[in-house]
Every structure is written in C-alpha cells, then in structure tokens.
Structure 1
Amino acid sequence: MTPEDESFDNNLIERSLSETGLIPAAPLGFKSGFVGIVGRPNVGKSTLMNELVGQKIAITSPIAQTTRNRLRGILTTPAAQLIFVDTPGIHKPQHQLGEVLVKNAQIAMHSVDLLLFVVDGAVEVGKGDRFIAELAKHCPIPVILGINKIDQQSSNSETIVASYTDLADEYGWMIALFSAITGDGMEALLQQLIQRLELGPYYYPPDLVTDQPERFIMGELIREQVLRLTREEVPHSTAIAIDRVDEEPTLTRVLATIHVERPSQKGILIGKGGSMLKEIGTSARQQIQKLIAGKVYLELFVKVQPKWRYSRSDLADLGYKVENS
C-alpha cells in the first residue's frame, strides 16, 4: 500500500476531526450510548439503521445474511448521540463464516448499552425469535422489542402483534411498532431509545454518521450490487477486496477483486461478453460516487478462491474474524 492509499483510507472519524476540531463537550442533560440492533436474518436491521441515521451506510438486500461485519451508524440530535451497532442476523451457522458472524453478533449483544431486538412484524413470532430472546435475557441492559414491517401486515395483524406482545411481556420488555421502509413509527422509536439511555458525552463528532473506513463501505457497496443483480445464483459465496484506491484532483480510481468459490460463479459474475460484470461495476460506481461526493473510475476483477468461507486463514485475509467485545 502506498502513502497515497493510506491517506485516502483514513477513517471517516479522522476526516471529521480534522475538519471540525476536538469533539465538543456535551450540554447539560445530554444522553449517549451504544444501541445494538439484533434479530434473525432479513428482518430489516440494516434498512432500519440507514433510516435512523438518515443516510445509507449499510447495504441491504432481499437475500438473508447480507450484513457480515459489525457496522456502526451514528445519529446525533440536540438531546442525544446514539451509536447504532448493526449486527449479522443470528442463525444456525452452516460454515466457518457463519460461525464467525453469529459469534460477532452475540459479542455485540454484551458490549452495548441498550438492545433493540428487531422482529418481522409481517409474521408471527417463531423459533428463531425465541432463541434470540433467550440470548437477550442474559444481557444486563434494557431491551426494546422492535416490531418492523408493520406496512406489510395482513388481515391477521392483531394476532401477529399479540404473539410479540406475549413475548415482550414474558421478559418485561418495551415494544415499538414501526416500518423502516415507510418511516412510520420511527420518531416514537427514537424517543423510546433516547429515554432508555443514560446521561453521557459525545463519543464522536456531531456530524459523523459512521466510524467505518471508506474502503470498507466501498467494498460493501460492490457486494450489494452482486447480491442484487445475481440473486440466488451467487448467494453468499462472494467477498470483496479493495486492492487499490488512487485519489486524483478530479477522479478517484478504485480497483477491486470479487472473490468467489467456484469457476461457475465466476462465469455468472462476468456474464456473456462481460455484460454482468459491467452492470455490477456501473451500479456500484454510482453508489460509490454518492459516498465520496466525487467522480469514480471503478475496475473490477473476479478471482476463484475455493471454499474460502470454510477457511480461517482465508476469512482473516478477507477481513472476517471474531471481533473483540
């Protein structure tokens, strides 16, 4: 990595600090804390965090297990600063990658100040929800049961809500109903979260929305387009490595490699005459341009790395490891 690469790969917090100076002192009565967002795969955790923060920092997909890394989104209001910790969906792992993801989600549950347990309000409570509820029961922090997707409820909505109400009553939790897609109920949810936080300082500059490096988010935006355009053909066998970033006065050049497990997946990603890879690159480039607010040249490569999800060393090389609490 060249010095130019390192300077561009600074964490967004370092950029903000250089522009705004030291983190200010919090006013009297100010609240702050870390809010863990947990739940089964595909209940809308990442969409929720994006809505709360007011900006897209987490990728979303209709395919379960989109989130792989613990990602922080930061919301600062006049009354509080909430650091949302988005976690991978808790599920029964099928490989080494899955074990790492679930372990990281469980670690996050014990390293935050408040837990927002998100469930799918379009269906009744299930075994997966009850499993997570048992895990949350052992966390010595307040828990709010967030019933998402109320905009998708059918005629039996009362039965669905009642099933979650019974679950919340069993553990003595508060309930919030909302839709991360439409925004309904979000203000009430936010007030509930702030209400349960303790008095505290600014942990980050007030204008910061995430503490993740730009390179990480670039890779996630590329992976999002792979999921969106290939759907079930190349589900979770992809990992993105940002190989190089060169920042020029009027253009940012990004070189990235998409790692897959089988040659057939490589063929799908490239497509006939390179058509699929071109479409992925075009869509990802547009998203990255929004991230950095500038023009981007993106070049993608595809590499076959057999069974990388089952190898601890490969996982570590690609940035997946059990995080510290």
Structure 2
Amino acid sequence: MIPTRWMHFAAAAVAIALAAAPVRAQDAGARDSARTRLPGALADTAAEPPARHRAIDLTAGGVGISIGNSRRVTGVRINTVDHQAERVNGLNLTLWIPRRNPDLVVTGAAVGLVAPRARRIDGVALGGVGVLASEVNGIGAGGLAMIARERLRGIGVGGLATVGDHGIDGIATAGLVTLSEGGVNGITSAGLAAITEGRLTGISVSPGFSYVDGEVRGITAAGLVNRTKGIARGVTLAGVAVVADTLEGITAAALYARSAEMRGISAAGWNDVRGVQRGITIGIFNYARDIRGAQIGLLNYVRSNPGGLRLLPIFNTRFGAR
C-alpha cells in the first residue's frame, strides 16, 4: 500500500544531490559517486595524492588560530577548502566545498558555509547547504540535509532530509524525509515520510507517511498511511490507513486498519484482522478471521463463527466451542 521505493528514492536523491557539489569539484569524487548507493556517494576512503598542508599559524604551544589547510589545531581553524585535515579541537570554519577528510575528527564546532565534511564531529555541526560526516555526536543542522552515513547521536535537522544511515539515537527532523537504516532510539519527524529500517523505540511522526521495517515500541503517527512490517507495540495512528503485521496496543485510523493479528483496541472505518483478534475493534465494518474479544460497529463479521452468527449488526464476538 505504501510507495516505500518512492520514499527511499526521495531520501537518497536529496542526499546525493547535496553530495554532488563536492563531488563535482574533483575528478576523483566524480568516480566515487557512481560506486555505491548513499554511503558510497559520500565515501572518503578512495586513495588520492597527499594534500598540501599550508597554513599561517598564530599559535602558542599548539593553541591559537590557524588560517589555511593545517593538519591539527587546538583553537580556531579557518580554511577555504578542507583537504585531509586530521584533528580540530575548537572551531573549524570551512568557507567553500570541502574535499576528502577521511581522518578528520572535530571536537567542538564544525561550521561550513557550504558543508562541513569529516569522519566524526563531536559537538555542533552547521552547514549552509548540509552536513556530511560518518558520525555526528551532538547537534547537526544543514540547510538542505544533515547526513551521518554511519550513526547520528543527538539532534539532526535538515531542510529536506536527515539521514542516520546506520541508526539514529536522539531526535531527527526534516522538511521532507528522515531515513535510518539501523533503527531509531528517540524521535523522528518529517514533512513527507519518516522511514526506519530496523527497530523503532520512541516516536515517529509525519503528516505524510510513517514506515518502519521492523518492530515498533512507542508511538507512530502519520497523516496519510502508517506502515509497520513487523509488530507495532504502543500507539499507532493514521489519518487514512494503518497496516501492520501485528498490532498491539491502541490503533486508530480514519478509514482502514489491517493486521495479521491484533491485540488491544482498534478504531477505524474498516478494521481488517486477517488472523486472530484479541481485544476490541470499533468501526463501521469489522472483520476478523477468529476472535477472542468483541466487535462493535454497524456490521461485524467473524469468519470462524457458525454460519448464522458470522455477520451481525452492532455487536459480534466468539460463538460456539472451537
């Protein structure tokens, strides 16, 4: 029912479009973008000639201000194009499109007028266009996208997309899509689709779609369609439809709620339980293959009941010894 391929494509397209600017700035980067999917497009692992580390250092005892492409700085580092930098403790300010920095760890603040790019950022990462890092631990915000191709721990904000490719621990929000392929522990919110491949423990909210390919423990809410390919435990809400392998807890949808098994309470225009219902369904039309509970609605159908008791108005439950 949910166009999951479209949602994945939207997230990947935003991320790759953001990565395209630094890729176009270097021939080696252009080859990099065709190698794999999203993580490969941002990879910093390809071999390349050594960078020129030229800088004006206004430091004392290794602490101070460095202007240029210095390797290591404690204090403030200002550079036009970061290339093969290694360590910054303090502020790293990048004025233009960065090149590869496979070993760069920034502890403090990484700020890019276009996009800071590093292996790991511990602290604050801010980019006019986006943030590109393997790991972000702290707060990351990008005008178009905030991308952690391994894990996001903390708060991630993207104008269009926020990605924690190997997982999100904390809060992720975006105008279009949030995407995690390693599970979520925390809160995700997106204007079009909140997508989680893996277990979701926490809250997922979107005016459009919520999609979880795994178990849910918490609250998922979508303005249109809420889909869980697994067990949804907690509160599951949708403006149009809820679809899950198993629903446990409280479910509400304006039009349709479907599950293979249901345990708890479900309210929808049409409740469609294709296995065993354990609990209460409330709707205009309620269907269950078998039931250990009750149906309340205009028409109620229990397939396993004796012939004359399968379809009943107002109320239905389990009749007959089975």
TM above 0.5, yes or no, is: no
Q: TM-score range by the shorter chain?
A: under 0.3
- Structure with higher strand content: 2
More helix by share: 1
> TM-score normalised to the size of structure 1?
0.22
The structure whose Rg is larger is 2
- Pick 1 or 2: higher relative contact order, CA cutoff 8 A, min separation 6: 1
